[in-house]
């Protein structure tokens, strides 16, 4: 039973063409995260939501935005993808609250983005 679902699994877009990646969860977790992972590198946190509260990492480019219309869904919008944005994008959830310090994160299968 899938708990964190990401669609699509593979996404091809053109340079500068906006793209949206989606994530849904059946865990009813309060916190949802978006990570970017490039080849042979660690996942890098872009931002997270605790319920409806949005928390952006300081070094996340403005080109990346996120929406969370309800508990189950969270979207990653890349307004003008560049070649350097090609990566695996991972969605994760945790029960929260995010400052509790002990929360396990559950990852979705990821969306691999290719920018042409």
Q: How many CA atoms lie within 13 A of 116 on its CB side?
A: 4
Q: Does 104 bind another protein (CB under 8 A)?
A: yes
Identity of the residue, 79 or 86, whose beta carbon is nearer to another protein in the bound complex: 86
| Pairing of the two strands 19-25 and 4-7 | antiparallel
Among 65, 71, 72, 107, binds another protein (CB under 8 A): 107
Among 5, 27, 45, 86, binds another protein (CB under 8 A): 45
Q: Stretches 14-22, 63-71, 75-83, 86-94: which one binds another protein (CB under 8 A)?
A: 86-94
Identity of the residue, 48 or 68, whose beta carbon is nearer to another protein in the bound complex: 48
* CB 49, CB 32: distance < 8 Å: yes
Identity of the residue, 70 or 104, whose beta carbon is nearer to another protein in the bound complex: 104
Q: Please give, one letter per residue, the 3-state secondary structure of 84-99.
A: HHCEEEEEEEECCCHH
Residue 96 CA to residue 31 CA, distance in Å, equals 6
Q: Stretches 19-27, 45-53, 64-72, 76-84: which one binds another protein (CB under 8 A)?
A: 45-53
Q: Identify whether 51 is preceded by a cis peptide bond (ω within 30 of 0).
A: no
Residues of the shown chain interacting with another protein in the complex, contacts defined by CB under 8 A: 31, 33, 40-45, 48, 50, 88, 90, 94, 96-110, 112
């Amino acid at each position: 039973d899938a708990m964190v679902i990401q669609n699509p699994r593979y996404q091809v877009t053109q340079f500068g063409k906006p793209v949206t990646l989606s994530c849904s969860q059946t865990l009813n977790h309060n916190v949802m995260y978006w990570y970017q992972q490039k080849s042979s590198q660690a996942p890098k946190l872009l931002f997270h939501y605790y319920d409806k509260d949005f928390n952006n990492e300081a070094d996340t480019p403005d080109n990346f935005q996120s929406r969370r219309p309800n508990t189950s869904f969270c979207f990653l919008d890349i307004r003008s993808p560049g070649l350097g944005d090609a990566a695996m994008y991972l969605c994760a959830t945790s029960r929260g609250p995010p400052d509790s310090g002990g929360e396990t994160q559950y990852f979705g299968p990821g969306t691999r983005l290719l920018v042409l």
